[in-house]
Amino acid sequence: MKIAISTDAGFVSAHFGRCPSFTIAEIGEGKILKVEEINNPGHQPAFLPNFLAECGAKYIICGGMGRRAEALFAEKEIIPIVGVTGKVTEVIEKFVQGKLEAGESSCKPGAGKGYGLEKEECDHSEEDTHLH
C-alpha cells in the first residue's frame, strides 16, 4: 500500500495542492518498504487526485484540503487524512503504527486558490506552511 504526504521542507504541508512536493511511502507487512519524494506537478482541476492515483496512493495526508478536493479523491478511492502536522518521517511512522490522528483541516472550504479561480487565501499564514 502507498500513502502520499503533502511535503514542504520535510514537514507536512498545510495545503495539499500548494505543496512543493509529495512524499510517497510504500508500506507492507507493518513496515516502511520505500520512501520517495516527487515534485508537485501542478495544481489544476482534478489533476492531483488522478496523478496520485497513478502513483498508487491509497491515502493522502496533509494539513488542509477543501471539500471539492476531498470529493475528487473519494472518486479515485483515495482517503484524505487532514489536519496532520509535523515531520514527514514521524508521520509515516505513526501511520505504520496505527497512531496517526487526523485533525481539523487548516483550510476553510472554498477559501483556497485553485481550479483557475482567484479567491482568498487559505486560513493559514505563509509562515505556517508546514505547521511544525
Q: 15 in a domain, yes or no?
A: yes
Q: 11 in a domain, yes or no?
A: yes
Could you give the CA distance from residue 81 to residue 75 in angstroms, rounded to a whole number? 15
Residue 50's pLDDT is: 94
Q: What domain count does the chain have?
A: 1
Give the distance from CA 94 to its chain's centroid: 15
pTM of the model: 0.80
Q: 129 in a domain, yes or no?
A: no
For 6, the grid coordinates are: 503533502
Domain span at residue 106?
Answer: 2-124
Encode the chain (132 residues) as per-residue pLDDT tens digits.
Answer: 999 999 999 999 988 888 999 999 999 999 999 999 999 998 777 899 999 999 999 999 999 988 888 999 999 999 999 999 999 999 999 999 999 988 765 555 444 433 333 334 444 444 444 443
Q: 93 in a domain, yes or no?
A: yes
CATH for 117: 3.30.420.130
